[in-house]
Structure 1
Amino acid sequence: MLRPQVSHPLFRYRYWAIAFLTLLLCCLGTLDADRLAAIAQEPGFAQRLRSLEIAQQTYQVNLNTVWVLLTGALVFFMNAGFAILESGLCRSKNSISLLAKNLIIFCFSTVAFWAIGFGIMFGDGNDWIGLTGSFLQSPAENSPTVGLNYRGAFDSLSDAQLPLSAKFFFQLTFAGVAATIVSGIVAERVKFSAFLIFASFLVSFSYPITGHWVWGNGWLAKLGFWDFAGSTVVHAVGGCAGFVGTLMLGPRVGKYKEISQAEFDVLPPRIKMLPWFREADESLKQILPVPAQNLGFATLGCFILWLGWFGFNAGSTLEANGGAVAHIVVNTMMAGAAGGLGAMLTSALYLSKPSLAFMINGILGGCVSITAGCAYVAIEFAAIIGFCGGIITILTMVWLDRLCVDDPVGGIPVHLCGGVWGTLAVGLFSEGPLAYPEYGITEGPGLGLLLGGGFASFGAQCLGVVAICGFTLLSSWIAWSLVAKLLNNTLRVSMTQELKGLDDAFDDPL
């Protein structure tokens, strides 16, 4: 095909025009370079450049501080979710007691973590415990200075470009969550004073010691154990502490009823197939479900907790990093949604119909499961982790009931079992330390076992879970036992008070 003839003068001399424009741009570039060289020689240029650098650093510090305080406030608001969830799943005669525990425990946690816990967890010391920083006393503290230029008592937090008070506030909200987890597990029969004394011990000593092993540059961190936001460090610890408490307390009055073989034989076949009975020494125990006071409150509490989890996980970056935050938030959302689906399907298949209470705990189990690996896995693996977390939560709830372990709100399956699974999942699905360069770090868990990595990363995760849970179970048993000795050899309210309701011990005329 012949090309059309161009007659416009601009097109006839286009090559000359291009050459002229190129020469003009080169001249302008030379002038700009000369001008910049002249500016660089002006008096005070270096000082002005340094001022700009300081202003940029100050802006980043302020941005990080606002981000961490905002996400810390979301984590703090999770206490409202716990309070509403627990009161909704338990009976109305114990509502005031549950709300009072959830409210006042954060007051105790704040003082205990400020005075003792924060220093043990993040203070400089050895591989096992922090020995400096009680009452936030940090000689020569120069945060937000970071790295080798940092001076103070909290080297484990020296990479966070934040004021010390912001670091403390964010970590305080995590400590409060660990204590609040225990509240629901031992609900409706524990003495108010017994819970407060034990929770104060947990926040002051047990939780900070195991936390130091991981987040305080302790021995587990040096062996390659990774838990980004606390599946084990926070949730499994709270679940272990509550598990020991509920074993020592025993089940609520009327929760389990022993029936004869003759009574069991006349039950409909469909009822016999349900997981409400267990055989032990030729006796059968019937599990009598305790009706929830208000599933609407429980659902609202689930939404509040799910919202708070975005701050819980994404805030653990300790910096306003857009790429990292978006990745973590999406993973958290996906795992929670997949956990709810897993729980709904499990309850529908196992109980022949879905259960709202199971769906609530499945969502929370999915969120707990992704907390350890939210920064290290792809979104498709976050969905798998959350889905399995929801299934594990429901199956564990049924299994514990068969063993007559009374957990009124499902805290053990959600936090302990979900936390253990999520921590082990890091060793299975991690994409390696350099998979997400937007984090600005060169460290992280090794490639997961199911993605072609070796057993080293998975083995470190297993070791960490065993060490942290083992220590927490032992220290909790000692602490609960000492509290019982202190309170007339019993952690439990009287039979009369339990039947009447724990709210009778509170005077609330309004």
Structure 2
Amino acid sequence: MGINAAELAAGINTVWVLLCAALVFFMEAGFAFLEAGFIRAKNSMNIVMKVFTDCTVGMLSYWALGFAVMYGLDRAGLFGGSGFFLNGSFAHLHLGIPLYAYWLFQAAFAVAMASIVSGAVAERMKFAPYLVFTALAAGLIYPLAGHWVWGGGWLGKLGMLDFAGSAVVHAVGGWSALAAVLVLGAREGKYNRDGSVNVLPAHNMHLAFLGTFILWFGWFGFNPGSSLSGLDLNIARIALTTNLAAATGGTMGMLCTKLKYGKVDPSMAMNGALAGLVAITAGCAYVSPPAAVITGAVAGVLVVLAVGFFDRIHADDPVGAIAVHGVNGTWGALAVGLFAEKGGLFYGGGWHLLGVQALGVLSVSLLAFAATGGIFYVLKKTVGIRVSAHEELEGLDINEHGIPAYAGLVAGPLGEIDVEEFSDSYVPEVLPRAAGR
């Protein structure tokens, strides 16, 4: 039986989207390794379990509710109202690939948004309330933002450009993380009574670097895959701009910390590269390679400044998720308004696109911040969201899951292995906090 050109094209595009969906899903391994490496050993199993939960509970929630809210028939430009449990017709999407392939790709994005928050709440949040949040994040918060921009909603109709999700995925995840952190509170021993900041050291930077490399690798599915076509020759340009922004962001993270502290900070090198990836995600298909370098360079500087800022306001984020995703997701959306070759301010397009981009990223960020803050506040007042101070100091691995990440090794008050090395070092000051967290 012969195959015509249209069938061949559909087959190639389907394979392309499925391959990219697998790459985006593999980014969850990157989130798990990065976040586990950045925190203390006594909590590393717990954070991997939270990321795993994003892939299980979050995936099911997106299947039952989220995809319909995001891509169902539009209701007043605000949400989709059909296709729950993937039932019914999605003909209005005019897909050139099977619906199931498109769903898998989008579901991988949904769980990535939830995983951004998991790192910010690490080391002190109860596991059960996190299950509730990840279900609502993948089933409601992310899909609402996605509908506004990609699903036929009001921002898409205004002309907002967000090719692969600097705003829809990353700004939404980052500002959700800020709301969660503010309601949850800081880790025990992170801040002193005089407001000074203590470093609670990462337990395995090699693991964090592995996570960074996996995320970088997965971004070649995240951005080029959003073309939904393996026949679109622009995927080469998308891959190039993505890679250049990551490389420049990582370079600037190293240079900034060398200039600021006299030494190159490995954590800022990693977060600089990730910030560059986040920032270019909106404009990867619309900007030139030099503009991608500028976008990544600004992101690498912003992440260094933002990490320090959030520490100064006592928004305790163990992995820098707010700075990487919230700040640079916002910057990436705005950068499109500046550098897009069609409509960008610096390319003769005037202020219109930049204004739409600013309105769009502000709107989805406020949605994410308010919704997450409300969810965390209700959970705090009902079931509680924090482990006790004793459980936190002992570690969430044992108290939440009954098993340590590193069997047979002893952890001290910092959660570090071989604590004898730290016998003369700082022991965290446990400050009293209100009950009910």
TM-score by length of 1: 0.77
The whole-number CA distance in structure 2 between the counterparts of 1:109 and 1:154 is: 25
Q: Do 1:124 and 1:154's aligned partners in 2 also have CA atoms closer than 8 Å? A: no
The whole-number CA distance in structure 2 between the counterparts of 1:225 and 1:322 is: 21
Q: Do 1:123 and 1:154's aligned partners in 2 also have CA atoms closer than 8 Å? A: no
Listed as ranges, the matches of 1:40-439 within 5 Å are 55-126=4-75, 127-138=77-88, 152-155=89-92, 157-158=93-94, 160-258=95-193, 284-432=194-342
**2:202 alignment partner, SS class:** coil
Partner residue of 1:507 out of 393, 402, 407: 402
The one-letter code matched in structure 2 to 1:101 is K
State the shift of 1:452 in Å. Answer: 1.9
Match of 2:366 in 1: 470
Match of 2:422 in 1: none
The whole-number CA distance in structure 1 between the counterparts of 2:374 and 2:320 is: 24
State the shift of 1:504 in Å. Answer: 1.1
Partner residue of 1:454 out of 346, 350, 354: 350
The whole-number CA distance in structure 2 between the counterparts of 1:111 and 1:322 is: 31
State the shift of 1:321 in Å. Answer: 2.6
Change (3 A) 1:248 1:190: same
Q: Deviations over 1:215-234 (max 9, x none)?
A: 00111011111100000100
The whole-number CA distance in structure 1 between the counterparts of 2:346 and 2:239 is: 24
The one-letter code matched in structure 2 to 1:501 is G
For structure 1, the residue ranges without an aligned partner over 5 or more in a row are 1-50, 139-151, 259-283, 433-446
The whole-number CA distance in structure 2 between the counterparts of 1:90 and 1:116 is: 33
State the shift of 1:393 in Å. Answer: 0.7
Listed as ranges, the matches of 1:2-41 within 5 Å are none
**1:257 alignment partner, SS class:** coil
**2:195 alignment partner, SS class:** strand
Match of 2:377 in 1: 481
State the shift of 1:72 in Å. Answer: 0.5
The whole-number CA distance in structure 2 between the counterparts of 1:322 and 1:316 is: 11
The one-letter code matched in structure 2 to 1:137 is N
State the shift of 1:322 in Å. Answer: 4.7
Partner residue of 2:388 out of 488, 494, 502: 494
Q: Do 1:429 and 1:451's aligned partners in 2 also have CA atoms closer than 8 Å? A: yes
The one-letter code matched in structure 2 to 1:482 is V
Change (3 A) 1:458 1:96: same
The one-letter code matched in structure 2 to 1:102 is V
The one-letter code matched in structure 1 to 2:70 is M
TM-score by length of 2: 0.90
**2:196 alignment partner, SS class:** strand
State the shift of 1:61 in Å. Answer: 0.8
Q: Deviations over 1:289-342 (max 9, x none)?
A: 111100000011000000000100000000113521100000000000000011
Q: Deviations over 1:409-432 (max 9, x none)?
A: 000000000100000000000001
Match of 2:424 in 1: none
**1:286 alignment partner, SS class:** coil
The one-letter code matched in structure 2 to 1:55 is N
The one-letter code matched in structure 2 to 1:169 is L
- CA RMSD, 1 decimal: 1.3
State the shift of 1:480 in Å. Answer: 1.1
Match of 1:28 in 2: none
Q: Do 1:122 and 1:154's aligned partners in 2 also have CA atoms closer than 8 Å? A: no
**1:256 alignment partner, SS class:** coil
Q: Do 1:133 and 1:154's aligned partners in 2 also have CA atoms closer than 8 Å? A: no
The one-letter code matched in structure 2 to 1:84 is F
Q: Deviations over 1:419-475 (max 9, x none)?
A: 00000000000001xxxxxxxxxxxxxx21122221100000011011111111111
The one-letter code matched in structure 2 to 1:251 is A
Instruction: Tell me how many residue pairs correspond in the alignment.
Output: 403
Q: Do 1:179 and 1:238's aligned partners in 2 also have CA atoms closer than 8 Å? A: yes
The whole-number CA distance in structure 2 between the counterparts of 1:154 and 1:492 is: 45
The one-letter code matched in structure 2 to 1:425 is A
The one-letter code matched in structure 1 to 2:25 is F
**2:80 alignment partner, SS class:** coil
Q: Do 1:374 and 1:382's aligned partners in 2 also have CA atoms closer than 8 Å? A: yes
Q: Do 1:332 and 1:367's aligned partners in 2 also have CA atoms closer than 8 Å? A: yes
State the shift of 1:154 in Å. Answer: 5.0
Q: Deviations over 1:384-406 (max 9, x none)?
A: 00110111011000111111110
Match of 2:410 in 1: none
Displaced runs of 4+ in structure 1, greater than 6 A? none
The whole-number CA distance in structure 2 between the counterparts of 1:317 and 1:165 is: 16
State percent identity of aligned pairs.
Answer: 44
Q: Do 1:123 and 1:132's aligned partners in 2 also have CA atoms closer than 8 Å? A: yes
Q: Do 2:74 and 2:153's aligned partners in 1 also have CA atoms closer than 8 Å? A: no
Q: Deviations over 1:70-110 (max 9, x none)?
A: 01000000000000000100000001101111112210111
Which structure has the larger Rg? Answer: 1
